[in-house]
Structure formats: structure tokens, C-alpha cells
Structure 1
Amino acid sequence: MEELKNIHTQLEAMTNGISELREDLKSMLKREELEELIKNTVSTIMKKIEESMLNQIEKEVKNRTNTFKEQIASLEFENGQLKQTIIELNSSTTKSITELETQVGKLYDTSREALKLANYNEQYSRKNNVKILNITKSSNETETSLTQTVSNILRTTADVELKPEDIIAIHRIPTKKGAIRPVIVKLRNNNAKSSIMKKRTPIKTKGFRLVDDVTKRNQGLISRLLLHPDIKSAWFLNGSVFGQTTSDERIKFDIFDNVDNTISDFRNRNRKLKTGGSM
């Protein structure tokens, strides 16, 4: 009987254990459900928070985007106005520059013509002047004594009688340091000058030189011509400057002429004349 009692006790203990195990299993299921519930709840809350944040972010982005768009539109409008202003300024500036260049060109041409005319008038005013070189200056030289010296030289070297009334003015002009200052004689008319200039050769043999009173610009032109490789000689005659080319062409030059262009123009004119004559 004792053994049966022990078996009964063991069975009862096993039954209680199974009951407790069942309770424990029920509790475990409840915890899993709770965990699932918590998990779902948290997920739902996070989702709502996420959606709310996304909505706020989208709203903020949209607002800022709209603001940026407005600012960009404003900047584009201002930029367009600036571009138009720049275009107008460029157009106005280009027009002004063109007008100024035209005016400068006209002024340049006018100034050149004015200088050419001034040079011509200055040379014309010297048309009856004679420059005499190598007359030694005396210690007590006066206008009267210089006139007498020049008259004596012309008479003794070239048999030319220069009357006092033929001389309007006489004086020396500056020259290089250490050189004898030339004498300028302004004569009453061209006849008096011609009678003297015809005797240049015999006067030169006596150590004196007679030359025209050439303006500084014309003298510069002669010097420029003599430096040109296509010009073998240059001189002044009757108020103008001439040059002789290496091809023996006699060409008249002016103070602002481009030597190459003037030679080319001269040859082109000659070719046209020859072609026209042959036709």
C-alpha cells in the first residue's frame, strides 16, 4: 500500500508540474503577444512620426524651394535688365567710339592738310631767300658790313652786282656748334634771286655755297628720301621736293607722303598712260 501511495504522490506532483508548465506557457504566449503589441505600437508611432517629419520636411523644402524660385526669378529678371543695359551701353559705346574714330580721322586729315598748307606758305614766304654757306664771321660784323661782304663775294666770284635796294633783309641763322653760321639774304624779287642762283657753280669753286632757304619740314623730307633704298638723289626746286629713283624716275614728294606708296602710285599712273596711249 505504501508503494501505491508513493506512486500517487509522484503522479500528483507530475500533474502539478504539468499545470504549472501550462501556466508558464500561457504566460509566455502573453509576453510574446505583448512584445508583438509593443512592437506594432512602436512601429505605428514611428511611422506616424516619420510621416509627420516627412510632411514637415516636404513643406519646408517646398517653402524654401518656392522662395529660391522667387529669388532666382528676381535675379534672372535683374540679370536680363543688366544684360539689356550692357547691350545698350556696348552699342552706345561702340557708336561713340566709331564717331570719335571718325572725328579723330577727320581731325588727323585736317591737321595734316593744315600742316602741309603751313609748310607751303612758309616755303612760299622764303621763295626769294638765298642761303649762303661758309662766309666767315668778322669780329665786329654788322648788318651793313655783312651786306658789303656778301656783295663783294658775289661780285668777285661770279661777277654779280647785288644792289642794296635788292636786299630786304640779311642775317645769320643758327647752326651746329663750332660750324660757321649760314647767311640768309631775303631779296626783293625772284629776278634778283635767279641772277644769283645761276652763278652757284663759279661761287662754289671759291669755297662758298648758294642754296635755297628750305623749311625744316622740307629738309626733313629730303633727308628721309636720301635714306630710302629706292631713291638715289633728292633736291628742292621751285618750292617742291623731288627725288630720283634708282630707275631714273623723277618724282615729286610731299612732307607726309609714304615714299613706297608714292613711287608705286607714280609707276601705276605711268603704266595707265602708256596703256592708254598704245590703245
Structure 2
Amino acid sequence: MTKTVQTIREDLKREVIVDVRKYIDSKISETAGRISSLEMDVENLKEEVEKQDDTVAEMKTILVNQQQRINKALEKANRNEQYSRKYNVRIRGLPEEKGENLRVVLPTRIMAASGVKLNGYYDIVAVHRLPSARGTNSLRPVIVKFFNNDIKMLVTKNKHLLRKAGLFVTEDITSENISLMDKVKASDKIEYSWYYNCNVYGLCKDTKRRVRFGLFDNIDSVIAEHTQNAKVISDTYIGQKTVRD
């Protein structure tokens, strides 16, 4: 009887162990299947992400190229606009009179202040007043378009004399170039900025040389490149001089 009970216990134990193992194996198999499915899903997601990354990279390239084209178009438009003003100057301080004829008044004042003789109907292509700043009663400035650059230079070369007479002569610069001059001037690596012949320049503090800037240039990058190039030229010159000596 005791052996029979013992035998039954052992049989039951073996059956339980077998059942547990089967259950565990089935769960392991089920879990492995799920893991395999998840791994496939992850791989598929990776492929999708890579495709999306490629698409995003392609779109970024397209946007960069498009922005470069837009910048070139804006630079060209600004340059053309500035070139169209090449023979222009703005004059502040000219007293305004009702019914004035600026083709007569302006040459007369310029002649009196500087000795430069102008024919208001030949040397001047166009002349008129500009609106004054909003909310002010100041004298409206005058914009003048001369017949050619030689005539313009006669006036601008004598602007120090005109200034003494209360007439202030400046270039007719586009708003884009004025903004660029302000950006260049704001750099702590630039002593001052100026406009000349449709271009904007700045004087580099380190090299004491002028640097030309474009409308969409990174100011710091341009200065860094200029400084590096100046150093290379200087080192080359010193090396050549040492060899000669």
C-alpha cells in the first residue's frame, strides 16, 4: 500500500512537471514569436525612419538651394536698384519755398557755396523733394539725378564746402545697403563701414584693411576669412623676405 501511494505521488509529480514544462515551453514559444514580430516591426520602422530621414535631407537640400536662388535674385535686384541710383545724391538743408524751381534754385546754391557751375536743365536729369519724416516739420530733403558720374563727382568732391553752407550731400543708398552698413558697423571687429560704387565696405580693426560685404554674408565669417587670408599673405611675405635677406 505504501509503495502504491509512493508510486502514485511520483507519477503525479512527473505529470505536473511535464505539464509545467509544456506550459512554460508554450509561453516561451509564444513570447519568442511576439519578440520576433516586434523585431520585424522595429526593422520596418527603422526602414520607414530612414526613408523619412532621406526625404527630410532631400527637402533640406531643396530648401537650401531654393534659398540660395532667392538670395541671388534679391542681391541682383538690390544691385540693379543701387546701380540705377549711381548718379543720384540726396541733399538736406535746402530751404523750401512755395512754387520753387529746383532746377534753378539748387544749381544757384551749389554755385554760391562751392563754385561748381551746373546747368539745371542739362546737368540734372531729375530733381524733386522727398517726403519728410512722419510727424516732423523738418525740411524735406532733395533727391537729384545727374546726367553722368563726372557731374556727380564735381558736387560730391566739394561736399565739405556745401556742408559749411548748410547743405548736406549723401549718396542715394538702397534701404538694403543701409541695413547692411549698420550690421557691418555693429561688429566689434570693424572700425567703421561705408558705401562706395554700389558696394558696402568695412575697415577691419585687426588688419587695418577694407573688407567688402555682400547682402546675405555672415559678417563674422567674412571677417574671419579675411583675417586668415591676410595672415597667410603676411607670413608668406615675411618668409620670402627672410630668404632674400
**Distance (Å, rounded) in 2 between the aligned partners of 1:57 and 1:65:** 12
SS of aligned partner of 1:229 = coil
Q: Which has the higher helix share?
A: 1
For residues 214 and 122 of structure 1, do their structure 2 counterparts lie closer, same or farther at Cα, with a shift above 3 Å needed? same
TM (norm. structure 1) is: 0.70
The answer (yes or no) to whether the contact 2:129–2:140 under 8 Å persists in 1 is no
SS of aligned partner of 1:161 = coil
Residue from 142, 156, 166 that aligns with 1:197: 156
The structural deviation recorded for 1:265 is 4.6
Alignment of 1:154 with 2:110, yes or no, is yes
Residue from 162, 171, 179 that aligns with 2:129: 171
For residues 121 and 269 of structure 1, do their structure 2 counterparts lie closer, same or farther at Cα, with a shift above 3 Å needed? farther
Deviations 1:151-172 (A, max 9, x none): 3322332333242243235230
Partner of 1:114: 73
Partner of 1:134: 93
Number of aligned pairs? 235
**Distance (Å, rounded) in 2 between the aligned partners of 1:127 and 1:238:** 7
**Distance (Å, rounded) in 2 between the aligned partners of 1:226 and 1:182:** 25
- Alignment map for 1:58-77 (pairs within 5 Å): 58-77=17-36
For residues 229 and 59 of structure 1, do their structure 2 counterparts lie closer, same or farther at Cα, with a shift above 3 Å needed? closer
Alignment of 1:253 with 2:209, yes or no, is no
For residues 169 and 181 of structure 1, do their structure 2 counterparts lie closer, same or farther at Cα, with a shift above 3 Å needed? closer
Code of the residue aligned with 2:210 in structure 1: it is R
The structural deviation recorded for 1:197 is 1.9
For residues 171 and 262 of structure 1, do their structure 2 counterparts lie closer, same or farther at Cα, with a shift above 3 Å needed? farther
For residues 274 and 118 of structure 1, do their structure 2 counterparts lie closer, same or farther at Cα, with a shift above 3 Å needed? farther
Computing the radius of gyration over CA atoms, which structure comes out larger, 1 or 2? Answer: 1
TM (norm. structure 2) is: 0.78
SS of aligned partner of 1:164 = coil
Partner of 1:54: 13
- Which blocks of at least 5 consecutive residues in structure 1 are unaligned? 1-40
For residues 266 and 130 of structure 1, do their structure 2 counterparts lie closer, same or farther at Cα, with a shift above 3 Å needed? farther
The answer (yes or no) to whether the contact 1:154–1:162 under 8 Å persists in 2 is no
For residues 239 and 88 of structure 1, do their structure 2 counterparts lie closer, same or farther at Cα, with a shift above 3 Å needed? same
The structural deviation recorded for 1:105 is 3.1
Instruction: Name the % identity.
Output: 19
- Which blocks of at least 5 consecutive residues in structure 2 are unaligned? none
The structural deviation recorded for 1:130 is 0.9
For residues 49 and 210 of structure 1, do their structure 2 counterparts lie closer, same or farther at Cα, with a shift above 3 Å needed? same
For residues 174 and 52 of structure 1, do their structure 2 counterparts lie closer, same or farther at Cα, with a shift above 3 Å needed? farther
The answer (yes or no) to whether the contact 1:135–1:180 under 8 Å persists in 2 is yes
Alignment of 1:81 with 2:40, yes or no, is yes
C-alpha RMSD of matched pairs (Å): 3.0
Code of the residue aligned with 1:235 in structure 2: it is W
**Distance (Å, rounded) in 1 between the aligned partners of 2:31 and 2:200:** 72
The structural deviation recorded for 1:174 is 5.0
**Distance (Å, rounded) in 2 between the aligned partners of 1:270 and 1:214:** 33
Alignment of 1:263 with 2:219, yes or no, is no
Code of the residue aligned with 2:164 in structure 1: it is T
Code of the residue aligned with 2:214 in structure 1: it is D
